[in-house]
């Protein structure tokens, strides 16, 4: 079997979120346990497995694993895997690749930015809004003060395939000082469907960006993720739903990963269409390594 390592949501090599993509003829023979072992060996936030070199029902079958378990959907693995399918399997500059994931078919399209960069875009499922949470509870979990939270907007679980607890903060200083109290976190997630916490604020490192964010997922074996496409998709839906920028139209740039020295850039678009919110997340992919599993 072959593997490729890519950096996703990366403006340059060795930034963004790392992903290992396993592909080749023998992938379809792997058991779920073997896939998990390989994901643990790679030890990135996620590792993906392309189990066929030809489309099935219009899309390529792909499975996603963290070092602890399989996921039905994840953002940066979707973009990174689509990139490898285009580059290594199709070997042609197609405009779209469809992935068959556990949540359903997710299309990834290629578009050229104003700067001439190739941007990969994925359309996520319409977000679902569920449980809301008190500031005091999240303050104890994140070692923050209630005054750090932006109380104009709710702390709420949102899902486009995986639920995240979306937490609005006022300042970048609050964002930087956030630190998960693992004991209180373990108690907290006993009562929640969402296990991952996504915090954001309107103060950024670079003036041409709009929001700065962090994502914590200890339950998945990921203390902090440098760039989370699925969480940012939930954020895009949240911003539209609550008119964070003054309307439901969202077209923004989000920073993530600066606190763990993996600066990342995610592009978000969303808008309300009838009873649904259309969500798209985009970014660049850079290939950094390839090899063979023996």
The catalytic residue positions are 46
Owner of token pair 């911003």: 239
Give φ, ψ of 61 to 5 degrees: -70, 125
Q: Report the C-alpha gap between 114 and 98 in whole angstroms.
A: 25
Does residue 264 contact residue 256 with C-beta atoms inside 8 Å?
yes
**Which single residue is written with the structure tokens 């907290």?**
188
How many C-alpha atoms does 178 have within 13 Å on its Cβ side? Answer: 30
Measured CA to CA, the distance from residue 256 to residue 211 in angstroms comes to 9
Contact 124, 108 (CB under 8 A): no
Question: Angle, nearest 10°, between helix axes 229-241 and 75-84?
Answer: 120
Chain-centroid distance, C-alpha 11: 16
Listed residue (214, 93, 190) closest to 137, CA to CA: 190
Q: What beta strand segments (E) does 66-134 contain? A: 70-71, 96-101, 104-112, 118-124, 128-133
């Amino acid at each position: 079997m072959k593997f490729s390592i890519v950096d996703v949501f990366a403006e340059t090599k060795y930034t963004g979120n790392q992903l290992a993509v396993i592909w080749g003829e023998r992938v379809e023979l792997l058991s779920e346990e073997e896939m998990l072992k390989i994901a643990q060996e790679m030890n990135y936030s996620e590792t993906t497995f392309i189990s066929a070199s030809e489309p099935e029902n219009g899309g390529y079958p792909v499975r996603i694993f963290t070092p602890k378990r399989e996921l039905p959907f994840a953002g940066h693995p979707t973009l990174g895997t689509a990139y490898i399918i285009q580059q290594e399997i199709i070997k042609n500059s197609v405009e779209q690749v469809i992935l068959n994931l556990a949540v359903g078919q997710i299309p990834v399209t290629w578009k050229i930015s104003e700067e001439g960069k190739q941007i990969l875009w994925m359309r996520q499922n319409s977000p679902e809004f569920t449980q809301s949470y008190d500031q005091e509870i999240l303050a104890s979990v994140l070692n923050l003060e209630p005054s750090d939270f932006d109380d104009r907007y709710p702390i709420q679980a949102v899902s486009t395939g995986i639920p995240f607890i979306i937490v609005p903060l006022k300042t970048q200083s609050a964002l930087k000082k956030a630190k998960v109290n693992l004991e209180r976190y373990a108690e907290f997630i006993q009562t929640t469907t969402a296990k991952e916490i996504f915090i954001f604020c309107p103060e950024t490192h670079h003036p041409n960006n709009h929001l700065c964010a962090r994502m914590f997922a200890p339950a998945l074996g990921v203390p902090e993720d440098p760039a989370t496409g699925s969480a940012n998709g939930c954020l895009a839906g949240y911003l539209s739903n609550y008119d964070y920028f003054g309307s439901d139209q969202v077209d923004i740039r989000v920073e993530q990963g600066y606190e763990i020295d993996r600066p990342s850039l995610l592009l978000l678009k969303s808008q309300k269409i009838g009873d649904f919110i259309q969500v798209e997340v985009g970014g660049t992919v850079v290939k950094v390594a390839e090899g063979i599993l023996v």
